[in-house]
Amino acid sequence: MTIDFSTGYAGSNDDLQPNGFQQWRALTGRTMRTMVGRSQLFVAILIPLVFTLGYYLPLKYVMSVRGVDYAQYVMPIVVLQTMAFTMMSNAQLAAFETMNGFNERMQAMPVAALAPLGARITAGQCRSIVALAAAIGFGHVIGFRFVAGTGQAMLFCVFALAVGLVLSLGADALGVITKNPQALSQALALPTLILGMLSCGFVPATGFPEWIQPFVRNQPISQFSISMQAMTTTGVSFHVLWPSLLWLGGAAALFVPLGVWASGRRG
């Protein structure tokens, strides 16, 4: 029992404890301040610029000979690689907070079980939004446009952020489990690089050797790129979109429970 002498109110200690929403908000604010203090939002703006120049400049002349507007073609993979950067940043944060004992302290306190996870994911989504806006802005400079209209542009952004969210949940779980930010970054960078390079995001599947074309055409990054390319040009149909939704739904079915379990585990 506690008594507030300024009001004469007598209540239990439970009445004075912040609820889960307040805890999530406080932890999110803490994470955002850390991101700003470490210039991570500046890096989130810089990374899309590096991807845009690094992917667009080497191939624009080759693709223009083939009649491809490469600024329009390459932007989806630039955005997807930007979301992958957010995924790796979330993984590093989760691993660091586990390594330095922050997560263990949270578990020993009356903090809602999912508040730390929710705070990391929310901060990561804020980083994703900044990076996505920067990527679209840099794309506009090189000639990228949302030709299919406002609705398709909004779908493009929502889909990109959904991909980033699902990947961040899986990466967060790996970060909590491994507790090693450096090793985790290297482990995540390799499959991201391989799937990105062996995808339709840079060149059409016909640009690859025939024996690897089925893999290139049907792997998730290619399907995401194909759907997002349609969103920026003719408008995506369900026939084009459904493979991407299957990949994204399957990833969510795996990564969401994994992220929740890893965040709540002890030891």
Residue ranges per structural domain of the chain: 19-264
Alpha carbons 132 and 157: distance in angstroms, whole number? 8
Instruction: Work out the angle at residue 116's Cα, subtended by the Cα atoms of residues 114 and 119, and round it to the nearest 5 degrees.
Output: 105
Q: For residues 201 and 225, is the Cβ–Cβ distance under 8 A? A: yes
| pLDDT value of residue 104 | 75
Whether 6 shows a pLDDT value over 60: the answer reads: no
The single-letter code of the amino acid at 75 is M
Alpha carbons 158 and 73: distance in angstroms, whole number? 19
| pLDDT value of residue 266 | 59
3-state helix/strand/coil string of 201-249: CCCCHHHCCHHHHHHHHHCHHHHHHHHHHHHHCCCCCHHHHHHHHHHHH
Q: What is the mean pLDDT of residues 34-55?
A: 90
Instruction: Work out the angle at residue 195's Cα, subtended by the Cα atoms of residues 158 and 166, and round it to the nearest 5 degrees.
Output: 35
Q: What is the mean pLDDT of residues 149-178?
A: 94
Alpha carbons 42 and 146: distance in angstroms, whole number? 25
| pLDDT value of residue 225 | 96
Would residue 8 be called left, alpha or beta, if left means φ above 0 and alpha means ψ between -120 and 50 degrees?
left
**pLDDT > 70 fraction of the chain, expressed in percent and rounded:** 92
Q: Which residues of 130-166 are buried (b: 16+ CB within 10 A; e: fewer)?
A: bbbebbbebbeebebebebeeebbebbbebbbbbbbb
Q: If DSSP codes are grouped into helix, strand and coil, which group holds residue 17?
A: coil
Phi, psi of 9 (to 5 degrees): -80, 130
Question: In this predicted model, what pLDDT tens digit does every residue of 221-242 receive, in sequence order?
Answer: 999 999 999 999 999 999 999 9
* Structural tokens at position 8: 């004469």
Q: If DSSP codes are grouped into helix, strand and coil, which group holds residue 66?
A: coil
Q: What is the DSSP letter of 113?
A: T
Ranges 7-11, 33-37, 198-202, most confident: 198-202
Between the two ends of the chain, the Cα-to-Cα distance in Å is 33
Token match 């994204």: residue? 248
